[in-house]
Amino acid sequence: MEFKISKDFIAQIEQYIEENREEQLQALLEDIHYADIAEIMEELDSGEASYLFHILDSEKTAEILLELDEEVREKILKNLSPKEIAEELDELSTDDAADIIAELPEGKKGEVISELIDAEHAKDIVDLLRYDENSAGGLMGKELVKVNENWNVLTCVKEMRAQAENVQRVHSIYVVDDDNKLKGRLSLKDLLTTSTKTNISDIYIPKVDYVKVTTPDVEVARIMQKYDLEAIPVVDELGRLVGRITIDDIVDVIKDEADKDYQLAAGISQDVEADDSILDLTKARLPWLVLALLGGFISVRLLNSFDAAMENHKELFFFTPLIAAMAGNVGVQSSAIIVQGLANNSISGSLWNRLIKEVSLSLLNGAILAVILILGSHFLLNKSYDLGITVSVSLISVIVIASLIGTFVPILLNKFGIDPALATGPFITTSNDICGILIYFSIAKMLLGF
Amino acid sequence: MEFKISKDFIAQIEQYIEENREEQLQALLEDIHYADIAEIMEELDSGEASYLFHILDSEKTAEILLELDEEVREKILKNLSPKEIAEELDELSTDDAADIIAELPEGKKGEVISELIDAEHAKDIVDLLRYDENSAGGLMGKELVKVNENWNVLTCVKEMRAQAENVQRVHSIYVVDDDNKLKGRLSLKDLLTTSTKTNISDIYIPKVDYVKVTTPDVEVARIMQKYDLEAIPVVDELGRLVGRITIDDIVDVIKDEADKDYQLAAGISQDVEADDSILDLTKARLPWLVLALLGGFISVRLLNSFDAAMENHKELFFFTPLIAAMAGNVGVQSSAIIVQGLANNSISGSLWNRLIKEVSLSLLNGAILAVILILGSHFLLNKSYDLGITVSVSLISVIVIASLIGTFVPILLNKFGIDPALATGPFITTSNDICGILIYFSIAKMLLGF
C-alpha cells in the first residue's frame, strides 16, 4: 500500500520538467502523498525541485515543505519570496509554521510574518516563536478544542463544530473557566453518549494531566508515554491553557533522543546523516577521534614506561591490544546499560548494591573469559602457562575496573546534570584502554618482576 | 504534575500492608494513576505486591498489570487463579489482553480463556493470538468504529454511539461494504460538520492507508510515521477489515527498535535492564565478549608474527593500542551512520559514489589526525620523525580501510536480509582492530624494513 519511488519514475519526472510539461506533471503527482513527493524532490536537483514546487497547489506544497530534509527545504525557501512563503505557512498548523519560520534567516522572518493573511494565525505563530524549541512551549500547537465549564452539551457541540473547522484532529476536549484556566477535560466518548442538556460542569473530568510551557521536551515525552496520552494540554505560569502537544510530535522527540544517544555512543558529536556533506560529516566525527588520538598518546607513554619488560617478557606486548579491547568492550556494555536505565528512569536501589552487583557480574564474566584465555593462549598461541595466568589475572582485574568505570561515570555525570550518554563510546573506550594497559602491566610487573 | 514516589511513601505502604490496614491503603492509592501504582509495586516484594493487587478494584488492577515489568507481572500472575486472571483481562482491550495471555505458561492459557465472561471479547482475543507478535496482526486491537457505506450520517452517529461504548478512543471511522471489506474512512471532523441526512457513500474518503496482518511491525511504524497517522486499519488476505493499530503501540515499537540497535552497538545481545539478574546480564554480555577475546587471540598471533621488529623497532609496539583504538572508533562511526541511514531509509545514491565519499572523508580526517600524530609523537613523546611518519602513514591507511569496512559490511548484511545493526559495536571494533594491526605492521615493515 506504500508508494515506492522507482528510478524510472524519477527519470520520467526529470524529463517532463526539462520539457516543461506542467499538466502531465500535475496529473502524474495528483494522487501521490505529500510525504512521497517530498522524497521524490530529495532525489531531484534544487532547480527541478523548485520547479515542481511552483506548479503544485499550495495546500500540498505546504505539507511537502514540512516533510523535506532541512537542507533541501532551505534551498527551496531561498528561491521563494516572503509572500510565497507566507502563503505556504497559512496552510500549516501553528506549530509547524513556527518551526519553519524559526529556520529562516533573521531578516526574512519578519518579512514573512508580515505577509501572513490570517491575523489570528499570525498572532499564534509569533506567540509560539517565543519558546525554547526543546520545551513544551516549542513543541505545542495552538489548535485545540476547548469549552467553557459554564456551557451545556448542546452549546458545546455547536461551538465545537466551529472550532473543529480549524483543527485537523480532535483529541481531548479541554474545559476552561472564564479566565481560560484549565479545569479539566471532556472525553469524546462522554460527549457522544450524554444527553444534550447536561451541563459541562457536571460531566467534565476534573483530573487532567498537563505540562507547563517550560517543561523540557524529553520530560513531556516521558509523561505522555507513561500515562499513555495521545495529547496533553500546555499551561502558562498562571495555569491558563495556551496550547496542546500531540503524540505525533512526541514520536519525533523519542526518535531524536534515541538517535542522539546512539550517535554519542558511536562517537558522533552532531546530528548527521549519511547523505550530508563531507565537511559536515568531518565536523561531526573529528572531535572524538582527536580525543581518542590524545588518549592513544597516553597509552604510548605508558607502554614506554614499561619498556623494561621488553628484555625478558616481550610477549606481554603482544597481548596489549587484547587487554585494551576487552576493557573497551566491557566499559561500553556497562555504560550502555546504565545510560538506558537512566533514560527510562528504571535504575533503582542504592549505589552500594549496584557496586556489589557490578563487581559480582564482572567477576563471573571475567572468570569465564580467563579460563578461555588460559586454554587459548596455551593451545592456540603456544604461550607458557605463566604468561597465560599473568594475562588472565590482569584480564579479570581490568574487566572489574572497566565495568565500574562504565557504570559509575554515567551515574556521576547524571548527578551533576550532564547528559550521561556523553560517557559512552570513545570516551569510555579511550579511558578504559588507558586504565586497562596500566593495570595489565602493573600486575604483570608484580607477578613476573621486571 | 507528575506523581513522585518517595521512600517515605513506600515505607508507609509497607507498614500498612504489614498491619493489614486495607481501608487506609485503598484511600492512599485512590487518586494515584495506575502507571504510578505499577511503579510502586515494583519497589515492593512480590508478597506485598500481590496483597495490594487483591485489595484494589479490577478496573485499576487490569491497567496496573499492563504497566508492570514482565518479571513482576509473571510473579503476580502466578499467585492468581485462571478465573481471577480472566476477570482482569475482561477489563482490558483485546490487544493488551492477548499480549498478557501470550506470556502465560502453555497449560494456563486455555484455562484463562475458558473463564472469560464476554464471549465476543474472548473470540477476539483468541483470534489475535494467531498472529506473530512482530507483525501488524500481533500489534492490532479489535476495538474500532466502523460504519457501512450504505448508511446515512444519522444512522452512523447512532451506531457509533453504541460502538463507542466499547472503544476507549475514537480515531478514524472506517467505512466497509456489506462483506466487511475496507472501502475508506470518515473523519470525525467531517462527521461533526456535515448534515445528518447525507449518505456515507457520498462523504467518505475512498483513499485510506492500511496494512496487512502480515506486515512487519517496524514497517507499520515506518508507514505511520511517514504518513503522520494516528491509527491505521489492518486488513486480512481478502481485504476485510480485521483490526486497527494506534500510534501509542507504534511508540513502543520505535522505542524497542532504537533500544535494540543501541544495545547491539554496545555489544549486548539480549534485551536486558540494569535491574535484571546477574545471570541474565551475563547471558546478554558474555557472547560478544567471547567473540572479542577470540579476535584478541588473532591480534596476539599477528603481533607474534611481526616479532622481528622487536629487535630494532620495539617502539612500534607502543603504538599498537593507539592504531587499534583509532581503527575501532572510525569503524564504529562509519557503521553507526550507515545503520541509522538504513533504518530511516535515507541512504540514496550508488555504492560507487558512497565509496568515493567515504574514502575522501577518511583521507581528510586521516590527514588532520596524521599531522597531530607527527607533532605529538615528536614533541610530547620524544619519538623520531621516522617513527612518527611511519605511524602516520599507517594511521591514514588504517582509517580509510576501517571506514570502508564500517560502511560496507552493514550495507552487505542489509542486502542479504540480515540486520545491519549486528555489524556495529564489538563486531566492527574487533575486526577493525585486527585489520588495523595487520596494515600497521605491514606498512612499517615496508618503510622501516625488519
**A350 at B interface, C-beta within 8 A:** no
The pLDDT-based confidence of A353 (bands split at 50, 70, 90) is confident
At A152, list the grid cell: 451545556
Going by the DSSP 8-state scheme, the letter that residue A299 receives in this structure is: H
pLDDT, one tens digit per residue, over A301-324 is 999 999 888 888 888 999 999 999
CA–CA distance, A328 with B295 (Å, rounded to integer):
14
Q: Minimal CA–CA distance to B72: which of B254, B249, B253, B275? A: B275
Q: Chain A neighbours among B 86-125 (CB < 8 Å)?
A: none
At A170, list the grid cell: 480532535
Residue B212 burial (CB count, 10 A):
17
Chain B nearest-CA distance from A332, in A, is 6
Nearest chain B alpha carbon to A233: B1
CB-based contacts of B141, cutoff 8 Å, min separation 6: B93, B94, B95, B96, B128, B243, B244, B245, B246, B249
Q: Do B381 and A300 touch (CB under 8 A)?
A: yes
pLDDT, one tens digit per residue, over B306-342 is 988 888 888 899 999 999 999 999 999 999 999 888 8
CB-CB contact of B90 with B63 (8 Å): no
What residue spans of B380-450 are helical by DSSP H?
A: 385-415, 426-448
Output the CA angle A168-A170-A171, nearest 5 degrees: 130
- Architecture of domain B278-448 in CATH? Orthogonal Bundle (1.10)
The pLDDT-based confidence of A2 (bands split at 50, 70, 90) is low
Chain A nearest-CA distance from B86, in A, is 23
For cell 494515584, the residue is B32
At A174, list the grid cell: 479541554
pLDDT, one tens digit per residue, over B248-259 is 888 889 888 888
- Architecture of domain B146-255 in CATH? Roll (3.10)
Question: Lowest-confidence range among A20-34, A343-357, A389-403?
Answer: A343-357
Q: Do B365 and A285 touch (CB under 8 A)?
A: yes
Judging contacts by C-beta atoms under 8 Å, the chain B residues touching residue A43 are: 348
CATH T-level fold of A7-139? MgtE N-terminal fold (1.25.60)
Q: Where are the beta strands (DSSP E) in A203-299?
A: 211-212, 231-235, 241-246
**A178 at B interface, C-beta within 8 A:** no
Helix (H, G, I), strand (E, B) or coil at A243: strand
CA–CA distance, B162 with B2 (Å, rounded to integer):
34
Average pLDDT (A250-272) is: 86
Q: Do A332 and B227 touch (CB under 8 A)?
A: no
CA–CA distance, A115 with A108 (Å, rounded to integer):
11
Output the CA angle B218-B222-B225, nearest 5 degrees: 135
Q: Residue B106 class from Cβ within 10 Å (0-12 exposed, 13-18 middle, 19+ buried)?
A: exposed
Q: Do A268 and B333 touch (CB under 8 A)?
A: yes
- What is the longest distance spanned by two Cα atoms in chain A? 97
Average pLDDT (B349-369) is: 90
Average pLDDT of the residues of chain B: 89
- Selected for mutation to probe chain B from A7, A255, A396 (highest B CB count within 10 Å) is A255
Q: Residue B8 class from Cβ within 10 Å (0-12 exposed, 13-18 middle, 19+ buried)?
A: exposed
ipTM: 0.80
Q: Do A341 and B275 touch (CB under 8 A)?
A: yes
b/e per residue B118-138 (b: at least 16 CB within 10 A): eeebbebbbebbebeeebbbb
Dihedral sign from CA coordinates of B428, B431, B433, B439: negative
Which of A29-38, B202-211, B233-242, B262-271 is the most confident on average?
Answer: B233-242
Strands A231-235 and A241-246: antiparallel
CA–CA distance, A99 with A66 (Å, rounded to integer):
9
pLDDT, one tens digit per residue, over B118-141 is 888 999 999 999 999 899 999 999
Going by the DSSP 8-state scheme, the letter that residue B13 receives in this structure is: H
Q: Minimal CA–CA distance to B220: which of B192, B243, B254? A: B254
pLDDT of res. B225:
87
CB-CB contact of A365 with B282 (8 Å): yes
Q: Chain B neighbours among A 373-402 (CB < 8 Å)?
A: 373, 376-377, 380-381
Helix (H, G, I), strand (E, B) or coil at B233: strand
CB-CB contact of A37 with A64 (8 Å): yes
**What are the residue boundaries of the structural domains of chain B, listed by start?**
7-134, 146-255, 278-448
Which residues sit opposite B212 in a β-bridge? B235
CB-CB contact of A216 with A171 (8 Å): no
Cβ-nearest to A365 among B289, B330, B424: B289
Cβ-nearest to B261 among A227, A262, A304: A262
CATH (one of 1.10.10.10, 3.40.50.720, 3.10.580.10, 3.90.1150.10) for A146-256: 3.10.580.10
Residue with the bigger pLDDT between B369 and A426: it is B369
Residue B346 has pLDDT above 80, yes or no: no
pLDDT, one tens digit per residue, over A190-239 is 777 788 888 888 889 888 889 999 999 999 998 998 888 888 999 999 99
Q: Can you identify the CATH homologous superfamily of domain B7-134? A: MgtE N-terminal domain-like (1.25.60.10)
**B309 at A interface, C-beta within 8 A:** no
CB-CB contact of B250 with A321 (8 Å): no
Torsion on CA atoms A373, A374, A375, A379, rounded to nearest 10: 100
Q: Chain B neighbours among A 158-177 (CB < 8 Å)?
A: 160-161, 164-165, 167-170
pLDDT of res. B277:
86
A397-400, long-range: CB within 8 Å, 24+ apart, which pairs? A397/A439, A397/A443, A398/A323, A398/A326, A398/A327, A398/A330, A398/A435, A398/A436, A398/A439, A398/A440, A399/A326, A399/A327, A399/A330, A399/A362, A399/A365, A399/A366, A399/A369, A400/A359, A400/A362, A400/A363, A400/A366
Judging contacts by C-beta atoms under 8 Å, the chain B residues touching residue A321 are: 296, 299-300, 303, 320-321, 324, 433, 437
Output the CA angle A399-A403-A404, nearest 5 degrees: 120
